[in-house]
Every structure is written in structure tokens, then in C-alpha cells.
Copies of this chain bind each other. A is one copy, B any other.
Amino acid sequence: MTGHVSIVGLGPGGPEHTTPAASNALAAATDLVGYGPYLERVPARPQQTKHPSDNRVEIERARTALEFARAGRQVAIVSSGDAGVFAMAATVFEAIEQDPQAFSAIDVTVVPGVTAMVAAAARLGAPLGHDFCAISLSDNLKPWDVIVERLKAAAGAGFVIALYNPTSKARPRQLNEALEILRGILPGETQVAFATAVSRPEEKIVLSTLADADPGCADMRTLVMIGTEATRQLTMSDGTSWIYTPRRAETSL
């Protein structure tokens, strides 16, 4: 009997943002593979085994999951947010390509989810209302000068920028450097938002500007949103604020 691998995104945190397709894939699994804190978000079920790992050994985690499937198990690989955005989906295909003899007959499904950038945007208002990009600030997997080049290209061309993996204990300096680079291109009044643990009990939102943005507002669970010159703050009569980027761009670059 051939097994199956579902690569599943749980959404940002609250179970109200996990799609029925994702819930169904989790319920159908005999084995759940993923970073420990993500697996803790999946309700325990009898006759289902959780295989938690740390967050650094992605390719081994993918191989483990594929080996279970090869042995006939129904496996769900669990990511937070969407599995295809800086998460496990690409890693699984890498692992298959590295060992096609073992893995190319395995039935694979990718189940999309609400990615962190979109969840943060909804909480903030509509900062992604115009063209935008997503950049992972982690230089574990790519040279820092590539990241610098992309920040410059994106800011110069008027993209809203969503920064994933803005900081970690091992990488405390990158976010500060990224903000410094952006300050050389965009006005100081540009809207910057730090959206941490969106839709979870510990959710925290900080609205700032590029001039004032404090990298200390970010941790591993933070999505940093950098507006364009057009991104605006709108204050409601109760004093709460939304940020949004108008759909219309009147002028050329």
C-alpha cells in the first residue's frame, strides 16, 4: 500500500483561520510531522502519532515524512501560515528530487493556508492593497547581499514589503540593517507596522514610521510590514488606527 503526504498550512494561529481542507488533511493523517510548537496547535487524536522536531532540520524532517509515506503511512507535514511561503513545501520537493528512486512514487498534496503576511494585513487594515513583495530576512539560506539587493529593488519600484523571519536570537542585526537600507530610499514618514503572533492570545501590534521603527519590536513571530509612500494611516472616531495602501497610483515613478 502506498502512503500519502499532505503538506498543510495551519494559518496564522487561531483555529478560526485553519481551512476545512487543512483540518480534513490533519484528521486523515496517521502521522503528523513538524516543528514542535506547530504540532501542539493540532488537536490530539487517538491512533495518530505526532513526530515533533526542532525548527532547523527541515530537509531531515521532509525525508522522515517521505519515509513514513513510503512505508504506507498517511502523513501530514504541518507548517504555520501557508506551507508554500518560507515553509515546508519547497523542502519536500527538494527531498524528492534528491532521491527520486525512493520518493517519486509518493502521492503528494499541498493544502494552502492563510499566510502570515495576509493575516497581518487584515489585522492592520489593508496595507497590501497595491503591488507588494515578500522577503525572508534570514540569511541562513541565501547571502545577505542578495537580500540587500531585493530590499533596494522593491523599495525603489514602489512595492509594499512584507518581511518574514525578521529576526532571531542567532540573527539580531539583520532587521536593523534592513531598516537602515530602506531609510536611504523611502521617506521617514513611511508607515511601518510590527504584527506579532496575529490571532493568538499573545497578539501584539505596533504602528510606527520608518524613521522611528524600533527593531526591538520584532521577534521570531513578527511580520514586519513596510508601506510605500502612498500607504496611509486612518484614525477612526474611537481613536483606533488602520493602515492601508490605496489601489490607485496616480503618478509614474
B93 touches A252 (CB 8 A): no
Which of chain B's residues have a CB closer than 8 A to the CB of A237?
A: 100, 104-105
Across the interface, name the chain B residue whose C-beta is closest to A248: B141
Q: How far is the CA of A24 from the CA of B16 in the complex (A)?
A: 9
What's the interface size class on A, roughly? Answer: 35 or more
Q: Which of A65-73, A124-132, A169-177 contacts B (4 or more CB under 8 A)?
A: A124-132
Least CB distance, A224 to chain B, in whole angstroms: 14
B129 touches A236 (CB 8 A): no
Given A96-B234, A118-B115, A142-B249; A242-B108 close (CB under 8 Å):
yes
Number of copies: 2
Q: Which of A34-42, A47-55, A150-158 contacts B (4 or more CB under 8 A)?
A: A150-158
Across the interface, name the chain B residue whose C-beta is closest to A90: B129
Which of chain B's residues have a CB closer than 8 A to the CB of A157?
A: 149-150, 152-154
A236 touches B159 (CB 8 A): no
Q: Which of A78-86, A181-189, A205-213 contacts B (4 or more CB under 8 A)?
A: A78-86
Q: A166 at the A/B interface (Cβ < 8 Å)?
A: no
Residues of A near any B CB (own CB < 8 A):
11-12, 14-21, 24, 58, 82-86, 89-94, 96-97, 100, 104-106, 108, 110-115, 118-119, 121-123, 125-136, 141-143, 145-146, 149-150, 152-154, 156-159, 232, 234-238, 242, 244-249, 251-253
